[in-house]
Amino acid sequence: MNPLLAATATELAAKIAAREVSAVEVAQAHLDRIAEVDEKVHAFLHVDTDGALAQARRVDDGEISGPLAGVPLALKDVIVTKGVPTTAGSRILQGWVPPYDATIVERMRAAGIVVLGKTNMDEFAMGSSTEHSAFGPSRNPWDLTRTPGGSGGGSSAAVASYQAPIGIGTDTGGSIRQPAAVTGTVGAKPTYGGVSRYGLIAFSSSLDQAGPCARTVLDAALLHEVIGGHDPRDSTSIAAAVPPVVAAARQADVSGMRIGVVTQFKGDGYQPGVLARFDESVAILEKLGATVEEVSCPHFDYALPAYYLIAPSEASSNLARYDAMRYGLRVGDDGVASAEEVMAATRDAGFGAEVKRRIILGTYALSAGYYDAYYGQAQKVRTLISRDFASAFERVDVLVSPTTPTTAFTLGERVDDPMAMYLADLCTIPSNLYGGPALSLPCGLSDDGLPVGLQVMAPVQADERMYRVAAAVEAALGSDKLLEKAPPL
């Protein structure tokens, strides 16, 4: 394999800045890698060769510099890109070319990041395996018969298979962290409102958050600082600077920190190898000078059902905009059919089964007569979960748990069993409901030889804490080298 592919984003940027290698050479090496292996992995839905090389030339011409200038990136196809097709994994958006760039895309371009293309995902980010993509699933580079997780499995699979050193995902209930965990990569969900959602195709607006995917904690932090910070075009954006996550990742020191182990996340349904790696990580944190205590968050047990009322309710409203008039697909427009008939035919043909299930569920939960019993009740549970976090963070600086109960599951295994699919996000959903930041990093291999993720959760606007803890564990375990154990593609 070309050594440029195995380099971290930090190393690549340094080599490009020192003119040891050109940004065009780096981009071309990754485009060649995509051409070579993506037939097997199917991480990308669209590769923007011309756009990538043009941006790399701008870096080589000295027009742009910075800590990630010239570094290639895989972008989840739920983020809009001017002039580059954007589907959100759905047939209903097929053929739509956005007329504008998302704020984070503008920021990445200004930082000299080279967007290689758009990555595969579950339709409208609803799923945990990419099997709900209208364009076929992605595959896990560790074992091509298994899923790379979801919904952002494409970005994580691209990073894990050396098709890009960094990527962007979005996380509504775990879609950055769960794919990171099962592909042996790093994924971080920033504090809600910490990264602009302008140009992020909405699934559940009170939960959606974009964030970085990478092979090291430091690379994730560097990307976090590029995309983060206030955006007046997003009304939910926090009017504050990005927390100092890069400095924290470099600090990588946990001495004196108080770590809470969530007691709810273990037991039945957890793979023994996952729990073993988790316990070892906790022991390492203690050895590095942190104090560890068990913390009970009793309402976390109700996070999953609350999420599956709130997220579909918001989705049913957000997805009403796909009316056959404004974007992409239009079916049944024979000049005679009414607008309503065209809309119904288009939505029937354009949405997949999981998206329809969520729209029906959400519409039901919001309907008069059921609103209080379902949506209203779920919002109360959300408040109780936030209180669990608040009282936990009075005692400890961060909370830790396994990221997912099991390692990567096989393609087809859960696709007909929504409940089994939903359980992949058991440990990740509480942070979305609360709004705090959470990160997953690799912490070793389970008995089946597949990667295990450690989740670190921090208080709202204390994103730097999770990077500090994650970087310390990464250094102690050498987990930035874990991907070297994956079989070659």
Binding site for ligand GLN (CB under 6 A): 125-128, 151, 171-175, 203, 311, 425
Q: At its nearest, how many Å lie between ligand GLN and the CB of residue 191?
A: 16
Q: Which is nearer to ligand GLN, 125 or 385 (CB)?
A: 125
Kindly state the DSSP code that residue 242 receives in the 8-state scheme: P
- C-alpha to C-alpha distance for 407 and 405, rounded to whole angstroms: 7
Residue number, 72 or 137, with CB nearest to ligand GLN: 137
Instruction: Compare residues 312 and 444 and give the one whose CB is closer to ligand GLN.
Output: 312
SS3 annotation, 124-148? HHCCCCCCCCCCCCCCECCECCECC
* Closest by CA position to 265, among listed 230, 231, 226, 303: 303
**Residue 269 CA: distances (Å) to CA of 258, 266, 420, 424:** 28, 8, 11, 10
Residue 444 CB neighbours (<10 A) = 21
Residue 127 C-beta: closest distance to ligand GLN, Å: 5
Question: What is the smallest separation between the CB atom of 386 and ligand GLN, expressed in angstroms?
Answer: 18
Closest CA to 398 of 296, 264, 262: 262
Q: Is 380 considered catalytic here? A: no
Burial class (CB in 10 A: 0-12, 13-18, 19+), 418: middle
State yes or no: is 281 an active-site residue. no
Residue 28 vs 204, nearer CB to ligand GLN: 204
Kindly state the smallest distance separating residue 311's Cβ from ligand GLN, in Å: 5
Helix (H) or strand (E) holding 210: strand 210-214
- The distance from CA 365 to its chain's CA centroid, rounded to whole angstroms, is 27
Least distance between ligand GLN and beta carbon 175 (Å): 3
Identified catalytic residue from 76, 90, 155, 401? 76
Q: Residue 95 — left, alpha, or beta (φ > 0 → left; ψ -120 to 50 → alpha)?
A: left
Closer residue to ligand GLN in complex, CB, 340/416: 416
The single-letter code of the amino acid at 271 is Q
Whether 76 sits among the annotated catalytic residues: the reply is yes
The answer to whether 139 and 393 have CB atoms below 8 angstroms apart is no
Tell me how far, at minimum, the Cβ of 185 lies from ligand GLN, in Å: 16
Toward ligand GLN, which CB reaches closer, 28 or 404? 404
Q: How far is the CB of 114 from ligand GLN (least distance, A)?
A: 25
Token look-up 């990077």 returns 467
3: helix, strand or coil: helix
Q: CA-CA distance, 190 to 457, in Å (whole number)?
A: 10
Please, which residues have CB within 8 angstroms of residue 27's CB and are 6 or more apart in sequence?
A: 52, 53, 55, 56, 70, 72, 114, 116
**Cis, bond preceding 151 (omega within 30 deg of 0):** yes
Q: Which of 129, 133, 138, 151 is catalytic?
A: 151
Give the residue carrying structure tokens 């992995």: 41
Burial of 448 (0-12, 13-18, 19+ CB in 10 A): middle
Residue 132 corresponds to which tokens in the numbers above?
A: 């709900």
Residue with smaller CB distance to ligand GLN, 311 or 450? 311
Query: Catalytic residue among 161, 175, 237, 401, which?
Result: 175
CB of 202 to ligand GLN, least distance (A): 11
Closest CB to ligand GLN among 135 and 162? 135
Catalytic residues: 76, 151, 175
